[in-house]
């Protein structure tokens, strides 16, 4: 016997908006990921304090083909943050 609830709607999975992304099996961006996680821990999970590190991590993923090249403004960074990063 199967367990079927007649009033329950059938679940239809929806893929992520940006699609799937490959895992970093070779650890190419691991150091930046650990740095970001440490920053979050030290800042009580306030991610705005770690934006520069998250940008570096995303850049590493894009440079190593672990995610599609994306415009920084589409990833939530404004022009001022982009220029500030270029100057460093």
In the chain, count H helices and then E strands.
3, 0
Q: What is the spatial distance between Cα 18 and Cα 38, in angstroms, rounded to a whole number?
A: 26
Those residues whose C-beta lies under 8 Å from the C-beta of residue 43, and which sit 6 or more positions away, are 49, 50
What pLDDT, in 10s, does the model give residues 30-84?
Answer: 999 999 999 999 999 999 999 999 999 999 999 999 988 999 998 888 876 666 6
What pLDDT, in 10s, does the model give residues 1-16?
Answer: 555 666 777 778 776 6
What global pTM score does this model have?
0.71
């Amino acid at each position: 016997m199967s367990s079927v609830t007649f009033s329950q709607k059938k679940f239809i999975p929806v893929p992520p908006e940006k699609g799937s992304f490959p895992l970093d099996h070779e650890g190419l961006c691991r150091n930046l990921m650990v740095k970001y996680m440490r920053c979050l821990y030290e800042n009580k999970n306030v991610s705005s304090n770690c934006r520069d590190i998250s940008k570096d991590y995303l850049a590493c993923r894009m440079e190593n083909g672990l995610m599609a090249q994306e415009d920084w403004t589409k990833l939530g960074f404004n022009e001022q943050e982009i220029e500030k990063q270029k100057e460093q």
